[in-house]
């Protein structure tokens, strides 16, 4: 693609000389001949300091927030926004060839995204997905390393989804991605808001900044579906303005889509799904109110896309297990639940949901990530101890921190009355839980979910909670 055409298509300022652009990146190590290099000022590095290296490797042009001593430098007030728009243009605006559904919120994004894809595909639509578990564009799942990939990978995945003749693409959109304008070059047909909880405050610093980041999805979407039961629903409705907005609820009196008469039955939950005109009793094969919210949001999104209630209602009972999201594995009478719960809200919700399901005791295995928000560690320790019969505190991606120090912070000042044990080796901790469990007991292994590595000391070592359990 020619540089002048790319800049015009993205709305960027003009360059001095035209050039053939073969690649676009913000990573100097990915620059090759014909690359458009975007100088991003990040928390740890400044791309403007790497411009000379990029030129040496063959960069044809630079995009920067400050003037640089290179003839083909395009100056922009916001390099991150420019990067997203340039990637969208470079890949031929694939968002215009797909119907995009974006999902933001602290908890429930992955499950809701997979549920939406399943229901849309049952309705006859080919649907791609980009999220925490990777990008599935119709040719198998590819890891991306992020819930929402960087702009080059995000728009490349959308282009692949369009090339593979998908009708839809469901995208998990994280607060960091929105704060960094990663998806600004895309237009979403529908945005979905799940909830706000205390996560990523190590990045956003305050809940207000977290909410402000997530609200940006409203500006990028033609319509919004909002959780009426969340305390921040009004903030999202305000951001949505006059565009089409629908509400879903399990508690509110007035909403467009509602789940009523929730009836837990073991690891399943029955409820009545109401769309304002008709109702149908449905069953979701997962416990807890959050499972109802996830399935309700997915069903509501599909109804907004024209799938009738009477058509999709029977399919809710067939929604598949999502890896690492309340994933159930039975072993010799002991029920293991592998879940990504790594925040206080998520851990509390998971344990509250599992308590009525457990025929015997409820044992929890969990840890907290290193180099992340430290304030949640003692909070999660108190939650696990109060809602479990026994707790085994272990490691969860300690990264650059000492695992024993993290565990000590989790245990904090817990009273001795709680049965809390320490085993820093996560595999040994899971095996210890199995050894302690009797038939009928439930073991929640929380925090890592779908992850297949354990990050410690700068190394990512192969590890999977589910694989350890399957090998018991």
Query: Which CATH number is 307's domain given?
Result: 3.40.1190.10
Domain identity same for 175 and 299? yes
On whether the CB atoms of residues 316 and 282 are closer than 8 A, the answer is: yes
Domain identity same for 403 and 268? no
Domain identity same for 244 and 289? yes
Residue 254 belongs to a domain: yes
Domain identity same for 205 and 56? no
Q: What is the mean pLDDT of the chain?
A: 94
Residue 164 belongs to a domain: yes
What is the residue range of 366's domain?
Answer: 327-470
pLDDT in tens, 134-171: 999 997 778 888 899 999 999 999 999 999 999 999 99
Handedness of CA 297, 298, 302, 307 (dihedral sign): negative
Residue 203 belongs to a domain: yes
Q: Which residues are 187's β-sheet partners?
A: none
Domain identity same for 171 and 306? yes
Q: Among 270, 296, 316, which residue terminates a domain? A: 316
pLDDT for the residue 96: 97
Query: Is the pTM value of this prediction over 0.85?
Result: yes
Q: Among 87, 106, 141, which residue terminates a domain? A: 87
Question: How far is residue 44's CA from residue 252's CA, in Å, rounded to a whole number?
Answer: 44
Kindly state the tokens that stand for 358.
């457990």
Residue 322 belongs to a domain: no
Domain identity same for 232 and 275? yes
pLDDT in tens, 163-203: 999 999 999 999 999 999 999 999 999 999 999 986 666 67
Residue 192 belongs to a domain: yes
Residue 384 belongs to a domain: yes
Residue 70, class by beta-carbon neighbours within 10 Å (0-12 exposed, 13-18 middle, 19+ buried)?
A: middle
Contacts of 468 (CB under 8 A, 6+ apart): 426, 427, 430, 431
Domain identity same for 265 and 334? no
On whether the CB atoms of residues 424 and 403 are closer than 8 A, the answer is: yes
Q: How many domains does the chain have?
A: 3
Residue 463 belongs to a domain: yes
Domain identity same for 17 and 144? no
Q: Indicate if the pLDDT at residue 439 is higher than 90.
A: yes
Least Cα distance to 340 among 322, 362, 358 occurs for 322
pLDDT for the residue 198: 65
Kindly state the tokens that stand for 127.
């649907």
pLDDT in tens, 386-436: 999 999 999 999 999 999 999 999 998 898 899 999 999 999 999 999 999
Q: Among 87, 120, 155, which residue terminates a domain? A: 87
Domain identity same for 239 and 259? yes
Domain identity same for 142 and 225? yes
Domain identity same for 77 and 144? no
pLDDT in tens, 227-244: 999 999 999 999 999 999
pLDDT for the residue 145: 81
Backbone angles phi and psi of 44, in degrees to 5? -115, -25
Query: Which CATH number is 443's domain given?
Result: 3.90.190.20
Residue 277 belongs to a domain: yes
Domain identity same for 238 and 209? yes
pLDDT in tens, 306-326: 999 999 999 999 999 999 999
Query: Which CATH number is 23's domain given?
Result: 3.40.1390.10
On whether the CB atoms of residues 425 and 395 are closer than 8 A, the answer is: yes
pLDDT for the residue 142: 85
């Amino acid at each position: 693609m020619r540089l002048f055409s790319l800049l015009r298509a993205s709305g960027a300022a003009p360059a001095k000389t035209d050039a053939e652009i073969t690649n676009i990146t913000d990573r100097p190590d990915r620059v090759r001949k014909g690359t458009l290099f975007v100088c991003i000022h990040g928390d740890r590095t400044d791309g403007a300091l790497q411009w000379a290296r990029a030129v040496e490797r063959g960069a044809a042009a630079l995009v920067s927030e400050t003037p640089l001593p290179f003839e083909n430098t395009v100056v922009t007030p916001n390099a991150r926004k420019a990067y997203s728009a340039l990637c969208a243009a470079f890949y031929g605006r694939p968002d215009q060839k797909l119907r995009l559904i974006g999902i933001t919120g602290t908890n429930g994004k992955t499950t809701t995204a997979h549920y939406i894809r399943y229901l849309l595909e049952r309705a006859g639509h080919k649907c791609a997905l980009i999220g925490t578990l990777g990008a599935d564009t119709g040719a198998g799942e590819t890891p991306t390393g992020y819930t929402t990939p960087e702009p080059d990978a995000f728009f490349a995945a959308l282009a692949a989804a369009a090339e593979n003749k998908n009708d839809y693409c469901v995208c998990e959109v994280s607060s960091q991605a929105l704060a960094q304008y990663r998806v600004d070059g895309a237009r979403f047909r529908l945005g979905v808001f799940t909830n706000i909880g205390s996560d990523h405050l190590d990045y956003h610093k305050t809940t207000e900044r977290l909410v402000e980041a997530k609200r940006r999805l409203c500006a990028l979407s033609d319509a919004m579906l909002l959780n009426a039961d969340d305390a921040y629903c009004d903030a999202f409705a305000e951001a949505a303005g006059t565009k089409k907005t629908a509400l879903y609820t399990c508690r509110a009196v007035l909403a467009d889509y509602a789940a009523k008469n929730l009836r837990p039955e073991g690891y399943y939950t029955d409820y009545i799904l109401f769309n304002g005109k008709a109702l149908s009793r449905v069953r979701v094969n997962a416990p807890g109110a959050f499972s109802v919210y996830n399935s309700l949001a997915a069903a509501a999104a599909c109804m907004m896309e024209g799938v009738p209630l009477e058509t999709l209602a029977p399919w809710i009972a067939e929604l598949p297990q999502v890896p690492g999201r309340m994933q159930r594995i039975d072993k010799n009478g002991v029920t293991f639940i592998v879940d990504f719960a790594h925040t206080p809200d998520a851990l509390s919700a998971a344990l509250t949901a599992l308590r009525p399901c457990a025929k015997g005791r409820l044992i929890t295995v969990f840890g907290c990530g290193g180099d992340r928000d430290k304030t949640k560690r003692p909070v999660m320790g108190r939650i696990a101890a109060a809602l479990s019969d026994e707790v085994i505190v272990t490691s969860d991606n300690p990264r650059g921190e000492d695992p024993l120090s993290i565990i000590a912070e989790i245990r904090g000042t817990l009273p001795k009355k709680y049965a809390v044990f320490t085993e820093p080796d996560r595999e040994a901790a899971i095996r210890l839980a199995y050894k302690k469990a009797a038939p009928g007991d439930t073991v929640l292994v929380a925090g890592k979910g779908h992850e297949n590595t354990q990050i410690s000391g700068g190394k990512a070592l192969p590890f999977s909670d589910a694989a350890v359990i399957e090998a018991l």
